[in-house]
Structure 1
Amino acid sequence: MKPRVFALLPLLLFAALLGGCRQAQQVQSQQGLVMGTLATITVYAPRNTATDAALQAAFRTLDEINHIWHPWTPDATLARFNQALHTRQWVPVPADLQPLLLEALRLSRASRGNFDPGLGELTALWGFREAPEPGIERAPPIPSRITALLRQGIGVKHLQLRRDPQHGLMARTDTPTLTLDFGAIAKGYAVDRVVAQLERAGIENAIVNLGGNLRVLGSKGDSPWRIGIRAPRGDGTIAAIRNQGDMSVLTSGDYERYFIHQGQRFHHILHPRSGAPARGLISVTVVTDNATLGDAASTALFVAGPRQWPQVARALGVDKVLVVEDSGQVWVTPALQPLLELAPGVRAQVRDLSAPRQTKRPAA
């Protein structure tokens, strides 16, 4: 028996060492241009073929989502659906559009219309189908063209849905100027999809970041992930958030897509009622456990403006919010305050969402 034991021991030691190598965790990142922005996926996981395969599969998923939800690419599912809607006949809603379409409509209603995924024609009129070079000089559309488009009808209030026993979910619009554009929610949806995919692949620690729309899982060993919130003016960050497990951080700002005309900044977050860029705020960050919700909510609060964003936040069920007004005033909600580390020199006031009027007290 002894020869067998001694022969087996080296094999057991080798297997233990090999298993230890497989368990070694390290930070790994991959980047790519997806959905009109820079996508970065960072994981804290063993460096092996399984991790590489999970990262590659995640970027394939992002490409697939982009192909489904792009409103302008002719062969994209959403673009073809928009063309069908323009006939103003009842048309089937493609199966891969239905989950996000229904969720977007629900969030639009909850936000009191401040988040509206039916502004594609308005976005095109303003020249924001593609991201302009930041700070480029150009003229905005003439007011009469905006007014004419608003009179023809934009927004999801012009979209009708019904269930057909034979064809399933059907849709129709009463205006030829309704074009669905999910740019204000699709990145959050994509982040949620990729995070779920990474979890299924056994990755428990990761950051999925689509142009500042991100979700964080776990940690990097004994250290929590640290999430910086970009300063809306100048370089650097305005604050950092201490991660607590699974957390989504979504920011809408006037600094990603904009142009300048006669010294004024015109950005891509358009108000569905005025047809012009929303005014009063320059950055809104929402922290939640669901990136899809957070993406739509950050846009809705930005559009709602300095007076109404707390009411819209309550209506959407989000309580962790950081807001920067165009005056430079920074607001933070009580629920976010314990997780927030303000950058040196930044001062914030606490805004209680339940208060009928704003409550000013310094944030710690």
Structure 2
Amino acid sequence: MITKRLFIFLFLCSVSSYSQVLQKKTTLLMGGRFDITIVAQDTTTAKENVKVVITEITRIENLISDWIPSSQISQVNQNAGIQPIKVDREVFDLTQRAVKFSKITGGAFDISFAAMDRIWKFDGSMSEMPTAAAIQKSVEKVGYQNIILDSLQSTIFLKTKGMKIGFGALGEGYATDKCRMMMLQKGIQAGIINASGDMSVWGKQPNGKPWNIGITNPFYPDRMMAIVPLGQEAVTTSGSYEKFVVLGGKRYSHIINPMTGYPAVGLCSVTIFGPNAETANALSTSLMVLGQKEGLRLLDTLPEYSGILITEKGAVIYSKNFSKKRIRRSLKP
């Protein structure tokens, strides 16, 4: 439901110039593109750990994907309205955190959005607005309040028949965080796990310089509007500028408010910085739905996270705890 687009600038260093080497691999996992970058003492070690990362992401995908029929989350969905399903503690904990965030945002973020009817089309085939009745019906099976968690039994039960949960980009963010932690435990001191714009970053480039990301200009998506260096942190961007439909002269983005069934309005891009990509993703998703005022209010309650919001009118808004000194290029859409 959310489009993410971040440009990463990596200054590739030769083995002869520096004591460490950089290995990068791009692959398709969890239904999207993953760019895996590992810095190690030698090429063999770097390549081996790229494979370790891919194996770990694949393991997580097989647990939580709602597209793989045999996954634990698919089993939960198939038994909606029927019975609770016992899941691994890892899956239970991830679901519990997602439900907690759903509560914090009042439903602006909701993992049960997977049950939403896809009545809005953004492939050029849509020529008229859905009816109010159709929009209301599209979200009738959405509602985190109907997710029943039993911590003692490690079970998940969806009360409503036909209800579904899905992690989407939140699951990708979780996977990037998990892989970063695994690499640090293995002694890999630097790298980037980038899941289509959900990034977990640590260490520095082989030349000792920080990693840099470029934030896309939402009004000119082929251009950057800012370069920001990163430390050991995560960054995610959610945007509505690549998929939309124009009906009756009005632009409707593909980001749907799970509470109402209508497209979110007001913001066209939200970039969040913080300790982990899972939470950063949930925040960027929520803020697109909540809008500037309520979104900033939520962000201000989480001091470890900061953000840059760009409105549909081109205004650039910073959260209170974002340091403008980090920016290497002026933010002017």
Letter in 2 for 1:237: M
SS at match of 2:150: strand
Aligned residue for 2:223? Answer: 236
Superposed CA RMSD in Å reads 2.5
> What are the within-5 Å matches in structure 2 for residues 194-209 of structure 1?
194-209=179-194
Specify whether residues 247 and 28 from structure 1 end up closer, same or farther in structure 2 by C-alpha distance, changes over 3 A only. same
Cα deviation, residue 260, structure 1: 2.5
Q: TM-score, normalised by structure 1?
A: 0.78
SS at match of 1:222: coil
Letter in 2 for 1:241: V
1:187-229 Cα shifts (integer Å, max 9, x gaps):
1101101111221222111111111111211111321111111
Aligned-partner Cα distance in 2 for 1:153–1:319: 31
Aligned residue for 2:292? Answer: 306
1:24-72 Cα shifts (integer Å, max 9, x gaps):
2122211011222211111232333222110011012222222222213
Aligned-partner Cα distance in 2 for 1:246–1:345: 23
Cα deviation, residue 120, structure 1: 0.8
Specify whether residues 176 and 261 from structure 1 end up closer, same or farther in structure 2 by C-alpha distance, changes over 3 A only. farther
Aligned residue for 2:19? Answer: 24
Please identify the structure whose Cα radius of gyration is greater.
1
Cα deviation, residue 323, structure 1: 0.2
Does 2:249 align with 1:252? no
* Percentage identity across paired residues of the two chains: 26
Aligned-partner Cα distance in 2 for 1:161–1:24: 49
> What are the within-5 Å matches in structure 2 for residues 151-300 of structure 1?
152-164=140-152, 168-220=153-205, 221-234=207-220, 235-243=222-230, 245-255=231-241, 258-262=243-247, 265-300=251-286
Aligned length: 314
More divergent stretch after superposition (291-300 vs 268-277) = 268-277
Query: What is the aligned counterpart of 2:92 among 85, 92, 98?
Result: 98
1:4-28 Cα shifts (integer Å, max 9, x gaps):
xxxxxxxxxxxxxxxx98x821222
8 Å Cα contact 2:116/2:141 also seen in 1: no
Unpaired runs of 5+ residues, structure 2, are: 1-14
SS at match of 1:62: helix
8 Å Cα contact 1:227/1:242 also seen in 2: yes
Q: TM-score, normalised by structure 2?
A: 0.85
Cα deviation, residue 315, structure 1: 3.5
Aligned residue for 2:74? Answer: 79
> What are the within-5 Å matches in structure 2 for residues 27-38 of structure 1?
27-38=22-33
8 Å Cα contact 2:79/2:158 also seen in 1: no
More divergent stretch after superposition (315-324 vs 97-106) = 315-324
1:339-358 Cα shifts (integer Å, max 9, x gaps):
432645717xxxxxxxxxxx
Q: Which has the higher contact order (CA 8 A, sep 6+)?
A: 2
8 Å Cα contact 1:30/1:41 also seen in 2: yes
Query: What is the aligned counterpart of 1:119 among 113, 124, 141?
Result: 113
8 Å Cα contact 1:219/1:225 also seen in 2: yes
> What are the within-5 Å matches in structure 2 for residues 49-68 of structure 1?
49-68=44-63
Specify whether residues 40 and 78 from structure 1 end up closer, same or farther in structure 2 by C-alpha distance, changes over 3 A only. same
